[in-house]
């Protein structure tokens, strides 16, 4: 994911202390939105310790009691929705309509789902024993808090990604330390305030600011688990550091999501799906469509439709409700996207529409009108590297097999989509795509459905967020067993021929076939009875 590449993975100047404050700027206007206080890396452990001191009391609450607070947070967010939407649009540059549809409404829904389903997911789970020699034993899986969870968040979805990860961590009884992206620090503070306004203990959730070194210090702290969303190189470093410290991490490192359009697809449906999947949030989406493979016989209709629709999207002021493409979050991101497009065109691709544009009154913003490219090949950088901008390269393919081979020809494996009227065909193809998620006749909508798991394979990351599997990432799973002690275990000492014969007979009685079982019963009855007397005898 390019979310952290432009900011967090840049080396910072060596200094004994961080600046006293971090300014936040509107990417459309260049105006200052606000300011947050920063800390130095050596102060991060102290923050983690302070959260750790508060967390045990929170963990003592029953999950159903924690759920009350999480549900209250959903109400607080609903009440403050317009205020936060304006901040989100101003600080990140997301069109105001997308602030509601892609960030705030899904977050309200997620908080309510976490509150409703959390107690059921976290309820101790009984373990059954079909083995007859374990029949006296009672066991269960217990889901226990990790302690403090660290969340290192991205700038592209600076609200919904961290708030959902934090909500699940809290529901599991943990405290949380959030390191927001340096481009969107005010949203991190707003997330903390939503939970505190809902009545959660002050200090249970804390923000730490100060650039990439702070994220590194959080990873190296004794926080029990790290959730990181960002670039592949930084993600590898986070994973390596967590492994060195023998603690877990969940890494969401971006994608290069393919869209496969088959000859039997509903083109009138696939075209708007491609346009939204490729250009929503100005293409700054880890699971956005970054390459499309369309079967030749429907390619002309599909390409013409995508070009026409893309060219009609409104680019401009993100605070206006009808704006569909806002600014790139930073000049660095703008230049990276343009570099990839220029490289593709220089290598033979055809630019069908889009490119850099200036918006009157927003000269400080970096805007790119939606780009559609055809004539691309897999040798081009744009088909291999994550674009993370409003660019959709389209390749015409001869058949389903070629589309599959090209779709899997990537170091990434986050999401993918297949467009066909034949559900069975779509599911068969989905099973052959190397990715963590596949949508048939849709794309990436499940990030707004917290009951669905989110995560990828290959360089797209490790572990999962959301769903019951996201809960399991936020707990230590403990097995607890009980034995009433009425009989001794037969495998205890003494070891002798009686035990050996009884065990052989038992194996054949339990797992053998017809005649083999009868013979085992005849020949093993004596040893089995003697072992039975032995294990029911009191004392040594």
pTM score above 0.85? yes
Secondary-structure breakdown of the chain: helix, strand, coil percentages, each rounded to the nearest 5: 45, 20, 35
Separation of alpha carbons 288 and 14, rounded Å: 36
Residue with the two structure tokens 């497009």: 341
CATH 3.40.309.10 fits 257-448, yes or no: yes
CA 526 → CA 132, 289, 515, distances in Å? 19, 69, 19
**What tokens appear for 540 in the block?**
């040594």
**How deeply is 93 buried, as exposed, middle or buried, from its count of CB atoms within 10 A (0-12, 13-18, 19+)?**
buried
Architecture of domain 43-253+468-478: 3-Layer(aba) Sandwich (3.40)
pLDDT-wise least confident of 12-21, 308-317, 528-537: 12-21
Rounded to an integer, the average pLDDT of 405-425 is 98
Separation of alpha carbons 332 and 186, rounded Å: 21
The residue extents of the domains of the chain are 43-253+468-478, 257-448, 497-536
**What tokens appear for 342 in the block?**
């220029």
DSSP string covering 304-335: HHHHHHHHTS-BS-TTSTT--B---SSHHHHH
Rounded to an integer, the average pLDDT of 128-142 is 94
Q: Which residue has the higher pLDDT, 523 or 219?
A: 219
B/e letters for 287-299, b = 16+ CB within 10 Å, e = fewer, are: bbbbbbbbbeebb
B/e letters for 327-347, b = 16+ CB within 10 Å, e = fewer, are: bbbbeebbebbbebbeebbee
Query: Which among 8, 6, 5 has a CA at the least distance from the CA of 179?
Result: 8
Contact between residue 170 and residue 144 where contact means Cβ atoms under 8 Å apart: no
As annotated, the active-site residues are 252, 286
* 369 φ/ψ sector (left φ>0, alpha ψ -120 to 50, else beta): beta
Residue with the two structure tokens 């602030």: 99
pLDDT of 486: 87
Rounded to an integer, the average pLDDT of 499-526 is 90
pLDDT band at 537 (very low <50, low <70, confident <90, very high): confident
pLDDT band at 11 (very low <50, low <70, confident <90, very high): very low
């Amino acid at each position: 994911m390019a979310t952290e590449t432009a900011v967090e993975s840049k080396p910072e100047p060596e200094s004994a202390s961080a600046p006293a404050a971090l300014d936040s700027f509107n990417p459309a206007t260049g105006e200052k939105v606000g300011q947050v206080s920063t800390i130095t890396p050596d102060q991060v452990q102290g923050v983690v310790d302070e959260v750790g001191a508060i967390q045990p009391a929170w963990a003592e609450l029953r999950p159903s009691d924690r759920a009350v607070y999480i549900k209250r947070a959903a109400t607080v967010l609903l009440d403050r929705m317009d205020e936060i939407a304006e901040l989100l649009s101003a600080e990140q540059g997301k069109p105001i309509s997308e602030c509601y549809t892609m960030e705030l409404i899904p977050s309200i829904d997620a908080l309510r789902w976490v509150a409703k389903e959390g107690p059921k997911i976290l309820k101790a789970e009984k373990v059954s024993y079909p083995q007859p020699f374990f029949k006296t034993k009672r066991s269960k899986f217990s889901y226990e808090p990790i302690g403090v969870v660290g969340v290192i968040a991205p700038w592209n979805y600076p609200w919904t990604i961290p708030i959902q990860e934090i909500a699940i961590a809290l529901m599991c009884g943990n405290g949380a330390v959030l390191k927001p992206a340096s481009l969107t620090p005010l949203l991190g503070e707003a997330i903390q305030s939503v939970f505190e306004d809902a009545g959660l203990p002050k200090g249970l959730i804390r923000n730490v600011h100060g650039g990439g070194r702070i994220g590194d210090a959080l990873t190296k702290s004794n926080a029990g688990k790290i959730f990181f969303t960002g670039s592949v190189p930084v993600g590898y470093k986070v994973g390596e550091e967590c492994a060195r410290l023998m603690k877990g991490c969940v890494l969401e490192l971006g994608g290069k999501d393919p869209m496969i359009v088959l000859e039997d697809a509903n083109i009138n449906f696939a075209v708007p799906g491609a346009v939204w999947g490729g250009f929503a949030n100005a293409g700054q989406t880890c699971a956005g469509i970054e390459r499309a493979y369309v079967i030749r016989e429907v390619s002309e209709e599909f390409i013409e439709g995508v070009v026409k629709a893309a060219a009609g999207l409104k680019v401009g002021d993100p605070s206006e409700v009808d704006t569909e493409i806002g600014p790139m979050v930073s000049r660095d991101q703008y230049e990276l996207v343009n570099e990839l497009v220029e490289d593709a065109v220089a290598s033979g691709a055809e630019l069908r529409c889009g490119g850099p544009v200036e918006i009157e009154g927003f000269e400080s913003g970096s805007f790119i009108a939606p780009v559609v490219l055809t004539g691309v090949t897999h040798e081009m950088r744009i088909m291999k590297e994550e674009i993370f901008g409003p660019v959709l390269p389209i390749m015409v393919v001869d058949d389903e097999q070629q589309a599959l081979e090209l779709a899997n020809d990537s170091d990434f494996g986050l999401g993918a989509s297949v467009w066909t009227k034949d559900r069975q065909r779509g599911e068969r193809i989905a099973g052959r795509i190397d990715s963590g998620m596949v949508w048939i006749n849709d794309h990436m909508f499940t990030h707004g459905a917290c009951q669905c798991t989110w995560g990828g394979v290959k360089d797209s990351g490790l572990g999962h967020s959301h769903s019951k599997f996201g809960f399991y990432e936020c707990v230590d799973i403990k097995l607890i067993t009980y034995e009433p002690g009425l009989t001794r275990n037969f495998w205890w000492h003494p070891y002798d021929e009686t035990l050996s014969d009884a065990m052989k007979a038992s194996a054949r009685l339990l797992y053998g076939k017809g005649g083999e079982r009868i013979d085992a019963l005849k020949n093993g009855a004596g040893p089995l009875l003697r072992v039975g007397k032995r294990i029911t005898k009191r004392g040594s």
